[in-house]
Structure 1
């Protein structure tokens, strides 16, 4: 069920807009000197200079110089790529318990034409709290029963939705029905299995009808069907289908479904994806794991099971990224990656999972790493960005422009100091 219609949402959020002014486009070259550069693509480079021009990384090396550049002395500091938060509802939710500020889903089983960007609020008070933790971009994702709609990649410092959108391939989101624990009683067990079978048949019917429509439309261009037309790029391989599933059984069903319709797919959830490691790799499917801070799903799981899954995905050779399902709490993304690093993944792989891997899964080839030619999405920190105790983020840049790190909490703190 959609929480609220768009016009009412826009009316309500006007009173919840932050007053942080977005940064202006880069006018002057910036030279970071003597930094410890965490490239996410080529390891860690010590005592390295990084030159940023026109919003992109222009040069890197120990002897890089630039006339008339703004010099930032990064001696003893760490330079990271901006973090990318996957599977969030940032800007779609302001206060979870206030219905007029929540717009994450709509009614119906097929909402392929709906776009999360149409309800994104770039003035959300939540956004500055993510930036303060080094998150420069977010994938905003609709929720729903089955085919929920289209996600978008946005930068977290903009005047408008149009300014926020980052050019990236379209992505549709399908929430797979999961069977869960079956009842003990035979009659109830039978009902649960029947209901699950009907849900799977519903998905198959939806996609077979959409596929048939696409074939008919090729012969009869005048045919129209808003939702099936939104699904058409799936069958051409132009759009990625993000399938949300966690259990081994559901993931097995997803793999069969993807093979049947020859879809370009990403698995979101993947709590038990490592059980299907070979099949997932063979299908060319990447995994977005957004549940590092979740509780164990099963009674006999280890207490730190959720923390260890990224390492298991890596050991299985599966391409993956770490996401963070939620809105305000998505600011904890770097710390989720830190927990994964401490539970077998390692720091470099954990950083890559929230930067370069995330960008690649979204189909963006010039983000997520500190490399020449890449967008200058950078975070300068006095400590380890993945460690809440030592992370001291000092400056953040999006496309080479410095953005403010102030939040509403900072403003209130300063206000009441003067009381």
Structure 2
């Protein structure tokens, strides 16, 4: 009995250690008028001395000198308003302390799990979430990790009681981590074994898609003789109701992904895409988009310029490839606006960088109501006193998600206040 009580006590303490105490905002009941701000609309440029009206969780008007009516008026003279930032390719909410195995639930066993849903494991009470959203990030894509077909990601807002009220309704996103060898051995025999295993892994992926495609044909024809949850999960890929998010970086791997997509008439999203700038014509032909997470990475090859990872976003933009910034991380996803800002110094304009962490990210996910400040869009906005792309001066002061105000307190601020009073 004592052992059981000790175990239960430990589980309770672990649960408390993984839960923040910030209360999600209440649904919007009163109209809010944000006045006299520099508003970065994304779709209509940046507008000075502009008002934004938030009603019932939606933006209903944007322009100068809007009538207040019975709205709560907030004067933002000297402040800036942005759409809520969207961090793609994260595993926020799937892990708490990376060195404590019981708090890590990022991947399923095996390499063929298209039916696995990241939403099932997402923890909306994670202590990491308040820290991330205090940098202006209102939504994240939660992605299952691993090898092969790892499952389905979900787009969530970062101020919710449960996954049910946090999950955003978007088309199904199925993730494929394309087989690759991260470090080829210099030993001839070991290298041959690596090549043999790689060939087998790629063949397994291709067979999985062939089996899933044939299953979808039988499903459509009504001639199924048995059911398979894996192929059932992949069936929407072949009808256009789901999108393939393929994780690949090298040109050879991306070309193989595009070949697979062409075979089954898919429009993939390339996640990683370090070499995507090398093959813009192939990407355009395939209707592919790119989620680029490598701004702060080192060059992959010894003969590449040291600043190439900074310049790739501008190269993608100039080539006309739809792209958004990603950040493969949990707590470190808070640096998303910093990554976008870094690219401004290497070819992107500020407007293009903001677009790549707001509207373009929303469009890639199929969330048509997010990512811009315009009538009809979600009342999801961030208020700052400085440039949101500059971590030293951004100073995020407020956030609204669907019109409800978010508590921006977090563990970092609590510790700062604690030791400030020492």
- 1:371 is aligned, of 369, 374, 379, to 374
Q: Which residue of 2 aligns with 1:141?
A: 143
Q: Which residue of 2 aligns with 1:396?
A: 399
Larger displacement relative to structure 2 (81-90 or 34-43): 34-43
Q: Which residue of 1 aligns with 2:360?
A: 357
- 8 A contact 1:380–1:396 mirrored in 2: yes
For the pair 1:331 / 2:327, whether they are aligned, the reply is: no
CA distance 1:358–1:71, shift in 2 (3 Å): same
Q: Which residue of 1 aligns with 2:58?
A: 56
- 2:408 is aligned, of 405, 408, 412, to 405
**SS of equivalent to 1:344:** coil
Q: Which residue of 2 aligns with 1:312?
A: 315
In the alignment, the residues of structure 1 paired with residue 73 and residue 25 of structure 2 have an alpha-carbon distance, to the nearest angstrom, of 18
**SS of equivalent to 2:120:** helix
- 8 A contact 1:287–1:319 mirrored in 2: yes
Unaligned segments of structure 1, at least 5 residues: 1-7
Question: 1:177-326 alignment to 2 at 5 Å?
Answer: 177-179=179-181, 182-183=184-185, 186-217=188-219, 218-221=221-224, 223-326=226-329
Q: Which residue of 2 aligns with 1:162?
A: 164
Question: 1:22-171 alignment to 2 at 5 Å?
Answer: 22-171=24-173
In the alignment, the residues of structure 2 paired with residue 343 and residue 9 of structure 1 have an alpha-carbon distance, to the nearest angstrom, of 48
In the alignment, the residues of structure 2 paired with residue 414 and residue 36 of structure 1 have an alpha-carbon distance, to the nearest angstrom, of 30
Deviation, 1:187, is 4.2
**SS of equivalent to 2:61:** strand
Unaligned segments of structure 2, at least 5 residues: 1-9
- 8 A contact 2:258–2:268 mirrored in 1: no
CA distance 1:199–1:221, shift in 2 (3 Å): closer
In the alignment, the residues of structure 1 paired with residue 87 and residue 202 of structure 2 have an alpha-carbon distance, to the nearest angstrom, of 30
Deviations 1:383-417 (A, max 9, x none): 00000121111111100111111001222333344
Given the two structures, how large is their TM-score scaled by the length of structure 1? 0.95
**SS of equivalent to 2:138:** strand
In the alignment, the residues of structure 2 paired with residue 54 and residue 216 of structure 1 have an alpha-carbon distance, to the nearest angstrom, of 45
**SS of equivalent to 1:203:** helix
Deviation, 1:74, is 1.1
Deviations 1:72-113 (A, max 9, x none): 111111110000000001111111111111000011111111
Deviations 1:209-259 (A, max 9, x none): 111222233333562111111111111111101000000111111111110
- 8 A contact 1:239–1:264 mirrored in 2: no
**SS of equivalent to 1:18:** coil
In the alignment, the residues of structure 1 paired with residue 421 and residue 186 of structure 2 have an alpha-carbon distance, to the nearest angstrom, of 63
- 8 A contact 1:12–1:100 mirrored in 2: no
Deviation, 1:196, is 2.2
Question: 1:1-40 alignment to 2 at 5 Å?
Answer: 12-40=14-42
- 8 A contact 1:277–1:316 mirrored in 2: yes
Q: Which residue of 1 aligns with 2:5?
A: none
Deviation, 1:285, is 0.4
- 8 A contact 1:37–1:78 mirrored in 2: yes
Deviations 1:127-176 (A, max 9, x none): 00111100000000000110000000000001111111111111010000
Deviations 1:342-367 (A, max 9, x none): 11111100000000000000011111
Count of residues in Structure 1 that have an aligned counterpart in Structure 2: 412
**SS of equivalent to 1:66:** coil
**SS of equivalent to 1:249:** helix
In the alignment, the residues of structure 2 paired with residue 219 and residue 55 of structure 1 have an alpha-carbon distance, to the nearest angstrom, of 42
Deviation, 1:179, is 4.2
For the pair 1:414 / 2:417, whether they are aligned, the reply is: yes
CA distance 1:11–1:255, shift in 2 (3 Å): farther
- 8 A contact 2:215–2:224 mirrored in 1: no
- 8 A contact 1:13–1:101 mirrored in 2: no
Larger displacement relative to structure 2 (173-182 or 25-34): 173-182
**SS of equivalent to 2:97:** coil
